[in-house]
Structure 1
Amino acid sequence: MRVDLNSDLGESFGHYVLGNDDQILPLITSANVACGYHAGDPNVMAKTVAVAEQNGVAIGAHPSYPDRVGFGRRRMDMQLENVENMITYQVAALQGFVKGHRLHHVKPHGALYNAAAKDLPLALAICRGIKRVDPELPIYGLAGSQLIVAAREVGLPYASEVFADRAYQADGTLVPRVKPHSVLHDPQAVAERAVGMIKEHAVTAITGERVELEVDTICVHGDNEEALAIVRALRSALKDAAIAIAPFDPRHA
């Protein structure tokens, strides 16, 4: 049994520093690097890629709506052609910083990710934007969501993603951040929950229902105040459960 452990990183810009990237990177297997639209800038992108490469961490693009003020967490009404183009633009920008090999994956950020989980036309536009850069570049999408449906339809490899530090609704989507108890902060509780998700292929929704899901990769948000402690607890729990940690490989999915 194996799983990928990913985190959203590279979300600083200018003099503004967010997260503990240098400490988290050695503990994960893949990094989702901001591409400048919700956070990040060329210097942060270059540094994050370099540190990820030094630690043998798989590098993925983390494209977003153009929303720095809202950190990419506000949905925007955009034409699908514009969505496709902005995905290509951001993914290709990060690809330019990766030395000697391809990007490993793409994971949409924030409101774009959550909207595409329910909106098939939007999810298809995202997948087309990725495919234009590299038709073999996997997308990380919420398990059981329209992002997974779109990837199959477009012919992209995909990884079913779950969240160790987020509460779930009965339909398999994430509880919106504006609601109470949407983000989990206790490292040990998050770690135990993640192991259960992997072994049982299911999670308990905030309202008590059992939600079935596939698990290829687990995300811990880098901007969670307890992110470093959560990643450490998660690695320890996975080791105790004899679950190997390795970058997602579509050949083994």
Structure 2
Amino acid sequence: MASIDLNSDLGESFGAWRLGDDEAMLTVVTSANIACGFHAGDPTTLLTTCRAAAQRTVRIGAQVGYHDLAGFGRRFVDVAPADLTADVIYQIGALDGLAQAGGSAVGYVKPHGALYNTIVHHREQARAVVAAVVAYDPTLPVLGLPGSAFLAEAEAAGLRTVTEAFADRAYTPTGELVSRRTPGAVLSDPEAVAARVLRMVERSEVEAVDGTILTVHPESVCVHGDSPAAVAMAERIRERLEAAGVDLAPFV
């Protein structure tokens, strides 16, 4: 039986500002990429989200990003490698403490937003993020885009790499994510998204914006928690996969 991990970005509310439905999403996904306070998430929100994930045996990942609350971590920051390494160590450690207090622990690391996209090609920043994970806990897997500098550097450093695909994001013909500034970059039709994910899992294919058929071999599929109809998409994905005999479980 085929198996796939379904992950989502959670813990991104801040103070009185609410984003997404974490409680509902945690009943569907198998892994939660929880914010670490740099791009989103206040301590109370993060602790609450960690506790809820632990109660549902959902694996917790540290979603590390640029120090950019105002921009939600979606703006490039030209940070020095040593500073970026320290920033990432700080974020993993902070979330790990909250996760342990909530009855779990950080089980993997996934960069967020602009950092995720930057280290597809920015080798220096990719090395800085890898150095942080190695320094904190070299047994932690990292999630990233197939073919990225980040996964190449992580593999060279001996880290477990996990290839990721995106349920609700459009792809360029070269296998990268279409910029959110481009119309159509974010998908929101639950039925279409679920069919797309099933094709990824069963046929190892995804269609790019120009019709190019890309080959993908994801171990984990992401549904963004702040996307339109996020919970409905995640629920429909799970329904379609399970109906096709696909097991949903955290990557091993």
Query: Which consecutive segments of 4 or more residues in structure 1 shift more than 6 A?
Result: none
Aligned 8 A contact 1:12 1:39 in 2: yes
Aligned 8 A contact 1:191 1:237 in 2: yes
Q: How many percent of aligned residue pairs carry the same amino acid? A: 43
Structure 1 counterpart of 2:219, from 213, 216, 221 = 216
Q: Structure 1 length normalisation: TM-score? A: 0.96
Q: Structure 2 length normalisation: TM-score? A: 0.96
Q: Does 1:15 align with 2:28?
A: no
Q: Deviations over 1:230-250 (max 9, x none)?
A: 01100001011111000111x
Aligned 8 A contact 2:50 2:104 in 1: no
Q: Does 1:76 align with 2:84?
A: no
The alpha-carbon deviation at position 153 of structure 1 amounts to 1.1
Show the counterpart of 1:171.
Answer: 174
Show the counterpart of 1:57.
Answer: 58
Distance in 1, matches of 2:47 and 2:104, equals: 15
Aligned 8 A contact 1:144 1:213 in 2: no
Alignment gaps of 5+ in structure 1: none
Greater alpha carbon shift after TM alignment, 143-152 vs 62-71: 143-152
Structure 2 counterpart of 1:161, from 146, 164, 173 = 164
Report the 3-state secondary structure (helix = DSSP H, G, I; strand = E; otherwise coil) of the residue aligned with 1:117: coil
Q: Deviations over 1:162-214 (max 9, x none)?
A: 00000000111000000010000000000000010112222111011122222
Q: Which amino acid aligns with 1:6?
A: N
Question: Where do residues 65-214 of structure 1 align in structure 2 (5 Å cutoff)?
Answer: 65-99=66-100, 102-214=105-217
The alpha-carbon deviation at position 103 of structure 1 amounts to 1.4
Aligned 8 A contact 2:11 2:45 in 1: yes
Q: Which amino acid aligns with 1:153?
A: A
Distance in 2, matches of 1:129 and 1:179, equals: 32
Aligned 8 A contact 2:62 2:108 in 1: yes
Aligned 8 A contact 2:65 2:112 in 1: yes
Q: Deviations over 1:12-33 (max 9, x none)?
A: 0111111000111011100000
Number of aligned pairs? 249
Aligned 8 A contact 2:54 2:104 in 1: no
Aligned 8 A contact 1:170 1:209 in 2: yes
The alpha-carbon deviation at position 97 of structure 1 amounts to 1.3
Report the 3-state secondary structure (helix = DSSP H, G, I; strand = E; otherwise coil) of the residue aligned with 1:199: helix
Report the 3-state secondary structure (helix = DSSP H, G, I; strand = E; otherwise coil) of the residue aligned with 1:26: coil
The alpha-carbon deviation at position 125 of structure 1 amounts to 1.0
The alpha-carbon deviation at position 144 of structure 1 amounts to 2.4
The alpha-carbon deviation at position 98 of structure 1 amounts to 2.0
